[in-house]
Structure 1
Amino acid sequence: MGRVIGFELNSQEPEKAAEFYSKVFGWEISEPHWDYWSVMTGDTVKSGINGGIAKGPDDYSQGIRIQIEVDSIDEAISTAKRNGAKVIRGKMEFDAFYLAYLEDPVKLGIGLIQKK
């Protein structure tokens, strides 16, 4: 079962978004790394789903994507495509995980994450 493990808020003004969410909700927002600000929405006492704020890329300039953890990103991409999804960005490798971005059949953006 794929579990929602994070979110990504995409904006063409990520600094402004980071300031807003920090001031309004008290989110802890890190310094940017590759136009991506990590966000912590909870702590060990009061849990929450963490995520990030990003400068939206050309293929998703603004909007919210949930991040879904999967056991096999290759299988999840294949199954999603068979069920009407469009691959926006194929499997990308990072230090601790693989990531892909898809658009579901009703054009909602999702991210798939497989931890290494």
Structure 2
Amino acid sequence: MNRVVLFELSSPNPELQARFFSTVFGWEVSEPQWGYRSAKTGASDEPGINGGIAQGPDHFPRGTRLQIQVDSIDDLLAKAVENGASVTQPKMDFGDFYIAYIVDPTGVHLGLIQYK
């Protein structure tokens, strides 16, 4: 099974959005790395997931995407496309992990993450 492990908030103004979630919800939002601010949403021994806030790309300027952990991004991208998805961002290497983005056949944007 491929599990949801993170969320991403895409924003045209990530600084404002980070300040909002930090102030209103008490999230611990980091300084940007690769344009991405990680967001700790609670204690690790409590239910829930962490995520991040980033400048939204042209194909997804604002909204929320789930990041789903997969064993092989290459295999999952092929299977997703065979089943009606489109790839909005091919696999990218971030050192310890790979990320890619797809849109499912109904228009829902999803992220895929493969840890090395």
Q: TM-score band (shorter)?
A: over 0.9
Q: How does 1:1-116 map to 2 (within 5 A)?
A: 1-116=1-116
Cα distance in 1 between the residues matched to 2:53 and 2:25: 14
Q: Name the TM-score, length of structure 1 as normaliser.
A: 0.95
- Give the root-mean-square deviation of aligned CA atoms: 1.0
> Which deviations, in whole Å up to 9, do the C-alpha atoms of 1:31-90 show, x marking residues without a partner?
112321110112134242011000111111111100000011111101100110000011
1 CA distance for matches of 2:71 and 2:45? 28
What residue ranges of structure 2 are gaps of 5+ in the alignment?
none
Dislocated runs of 4+, deviation >3 Å:
none
Structure 1 residues not aligned, in runs of 5+: none
Q: Hey, what's the Cα distance between the residues in 1 that align with 2:78 and 2:103?
A: 13
| Distance in 2, Cα, partners of 1:18 & 1:108 | 23
Q: TM-score, normalised by structure 2?
A: 0.95
Aligned AA for 2:16?
A: K
Aligned-residue offset at 1:99: 0.6
1:57 and 1:2 mapped to 2: Cα distance?
25
Q: What secondary structure, in the 3-state scheme, does the structure 1 residue paired with 2:77 have?
A: helix
Identical-pair percentage: 54
